[in-house]
Structures are given as C-alpha cells and as structure tokens.
Structure 1
Amino acid sequence: MKKLLGVMIFLLSYLFVFPAWSMMEPDRLVDKTVQEVLDIIGKDDKIGEDKERMLDLIENKILPHFNFMRMTSLAMGKHWSSAAPEQKNVLVEEFKTLLVRTYSNALTTYRDETVKVNPIRDLGNKADATVRTIVHQGGGKQPVPIDYSMEKGSDGWKVYDVTVAGVSLVTNYRGSFNSQIRKGGIDGLIKALSDKNRSLEGK
C-alpha cells in the first residue's frame, strides 16, 4: 500500500506550472498528469534507481500542488489549535519531509501500474472535490482504489488528503501523532518527526 500511495503522490505531484493546467477541473488535471507521467516513467528505466534524482524530482514538483498546511492540521486534529505559530511551521516542514522521503523510497520500486481516473459528473461551482482513481497492478493482483481529496484556491486545485483502499493518509497519521503528543507534547511530536526524517535520510 505504501508503494502504491507513493506512486500516486508522485504522479499527481508532477504538474507543469502553467495556468492552463492549474485551472483545469480536478479530474481532468489528475488524468492528464497521470497518463503523461506514466509515459515518462515507462521510458526512463534509470529514474527508479537514482534516489537523489527521485527526491529532487518529487521535492521540486510536489510542493506547489499539495496543501501541506491543511494536511498537517488534519493529521494533528484537535491539537493543531494548541500549537504555537512557530511549532506549526516546523510541524508542516517535518511532515512534508516525512512524506517526501517515505514515498520516494516506495517509488524506486515502481513497475507497470496503470491508472484509471473516474470523471466527476457534477462539479459545478464546488471548491472541494474527490477524484477517484483505480490502480491496476501487474501479476494478477487486485486493483486498488486511490482517492484524492482536493480543494480549489486562487492558484488552482490542491490535494489535502489521499485515501488508499479506504485508508486516509491524514487519519492514519493522526493516531501516531496523538500518541506522540500524549507522551511528550507538541515538542515531543516535532522531535519524533525529526528523528524519523533523519533515519530515512540515512537509508
């Protein structure tokens, strides 16, 4: 599941910074991005073998298109409001680093997945939408649904949660975040995230 989530975060993150892309409806944006990036990865055998190149690619492409502030606040739940502004800034950066490093490792093993993006039938003027996709795996494995919760701002649609086979990324992290906060408060969570990021950096 972690591998699949990493693949989909990467695919969605690889958006070209053009107004025509940023103003696309969310389902069309995801579909266009996924198909183009699948083609790029399929033609570049070495990208999965070069960790630094993969990290650089994700860090440069993912940040403008995911709302990490909202993702972090959702993962923090009720504790977000009790964090000081400086703590919130550090938490966002550490959580962002954790996701990038965790799922860049998963992406290095990407092989032969295909993705179907389901169209949104009635978006209207909504500023919040769920883009539903199905990842078809090789080897006779069962398809896996991956949904993107997205919101529209002045700079286009951004992702604030990813749900893999019914498991929400932010909800999944909320349990571990709450546990760390109970043990050591907000600063304890920051330390735990920082320690985890250092361990991932060394792998």
Structure 2
Amino acid sequence: MFKPLLCVLLSVFAIQAMAQEAPDVLARTVMSEVLEIVKTDKAIQAGDQKKIFELVETKVVKHFDFTHMTALAMGREWRNASAEQKTALTAEFQTLLVRSYSNALAQYKNQTIDFKPLRMKPEETDVIVRTEIKQPGAKPVAIDYDMEKKTEGWKVYDVMVAGVSLVTNYRETFAQEIKAGGVDGLIKSLREKNKQLEAKK
C-alpha cells in the first residue's frame, strides 16, 4: 500500500529552506526542485540504487525525527527498552526506512501533489500538513504529514496514508518480534532485514 507513495514523501520533505518558514511553505519550496531531479535524472529513472540512496541521505534524512518515529512504532514497549537498545533500534529502523524509501523513490513517475490550506497558529509547534496525491488513472490519495518544530527546524515524525499511519503500521510486527525474542530479538530481526535489503541492492 505504502511503497508506491513513499517517493512522494521523500520529494516533499527534502527541505533546504530556512527553518523559520511555515512547514507547508518549506515543502512547497523544495518540491519542484526535488521532483525535477527525480524526473530528469536518467540514472535515478533507470534504478541506480547508489544515486537514489545518496539523494535520500543528503536531502531527506536530516529532516526526519527517527527517534520519535521509532518510539511511535514501538508503542508502550519503548519505555521498557534500555538506552542502548533504543539507540540500536533507532539506527536499524532508520536504515530500514531509508532503504525502503530509496527503493520507492525510483518509482516516481507522473504523480502531482495538491497542498491543502494549513491551519496553524503562530505559537503551534506540532502541525499536520495535508496533501492529496493525484495519479494518472487512479483516485487521489490523501497523505498527511505530522511535523514537529524542533530547535533545528521542522521534523517529520509520522505520515498518514489514506488515514493509516506509516510508522505505527509497524507496531504489530514489532510487538510480535518482542513477544518472541524480547527487544534484542527485534533488533536482531531488523538488522537481518537490513542485511537482506543491502544484499539485494
């Protein structure tokens, strides 16, 4: 469900503008630049994994709060993890998401993004940027971005695709892994999954 749309997520939030700007303005400002790269770069369109991964690493990763994302995916189990386990979980989950996003980015073709008006008070530090993805021959898909303002700027910490949370979509799987092998078992599982993705790349 999510994979064909993750490339849009990447494109929208490759933010390079100043952090003082509103989150929707940031997204609008950089969207055309990044989408242009994806559409015109022959290597990316051909599926050059190395170049796609570099694009994600340089323009996307720093604008996501992966610790917050991991905590959401873990749910209440996050409280039971040690500091070392939290660090390892965040690192492995980040790697998993980045590699998945990199694969999805190559699938971007002719989607367009319609930004909905942002209703935000000046003092707010947690907002939802609402968009609608229009795809040729398919119904529009609503994608909402949960963003939190940090000292270093706005960060994405969850994405709702057609009303379903991208991050918490992992919660059931994580809970099953923890039940079977504890937090260390989940870390091991994520690490093995990442090795498999690396091997495919």
When normalised by structure 2's length, the TM-score is 0.93
Other-structure match for 2:23 = 26
List gaps (5 residues or longer) in structure 2.
Answer: none
Q: Deviation of residue 103 (structure 1)?
A: 1.9
Give distance in 2, aligned partners of 1:183 and 1:35: 45
> More displaced, 142-151 or 118-127?
118-127
Q: In 1, Cα distance between the equivalents of 2:170 and 2:32? A: 29
Change (3 A) 1:106 1:122: closer
> How many angstroms apart in 2 are the aligned matches of 1:74 and 1:80?
8
| Residue of structure 2 in register with 1:47 after alignment | 44
Question: Distance in 2 between the 1:123 and 1:116 partners?
Answer: 22
Residue of structure 1 equivalent to 2:77: 79
RCO greater where, 1 or 2, for CA within 8 Å and sep 6 or more? 1
Tell me whether 1:144 sits opposite 2:170 in the alignment.
no
Which residue does the alignment assign to 2:128? 130
Task: Give the partner amino acid of 1:120.
Answer: L
Separation in 2, partners of 1:173, 1:32: 31
Question: Structure 1: where are the runs of 5+ without partners?
Answer: none
Q: 1:2-17 to 2 correspondence within 5 Å?
A: 2-16=2-16
Aligned pairs for 1:63-142 (under 5 A) are 63-138=61-136, 140-142=137-139
Instruction: Supply the AA of the counterpart residue of 1:200.
Output: L
Contact 1:2 1:103 in 2 (8 A): no
Aligned length: 199
Deviations, residues 85-117 of structure 1 (Å, cap 9, x unaligned): 111001000000000111211221211111111
Report how far residue 10 of structure 1 moved.
Answer: 1.4
Structure 1 residues 5 and 123: alpha-carbon distance in aligned structure 2, compared to 1, 3 A threshold: farther
Greater than 3 Å deviation, 4+ residue runs? none
Superposition deviation, residue 72 in structure 1? 0.4
Task: Give the alignment's Cα RMSD to 1 decimal.
Answer: 1.4
Q: Post-superposition shift, 1:174?
A: 0.8
> In the TM superposition, what are the counterparts of 1:149-164 in structure 2 within 5 Å?
149-164=146-161
Aligned 8 A contact 1:144 1:164 in 2 = yes
CA offset digits 1:19-39 (Å, max 9, x no partner)? x52221011111222222222
Identity %: 48
**What CA distance in whole angstroms lies between the structure 1 residues aligned with 2:118 and 2:15?**
20
Contact residue 161 and residue 169 of structure 1 kept, 8 A = yes
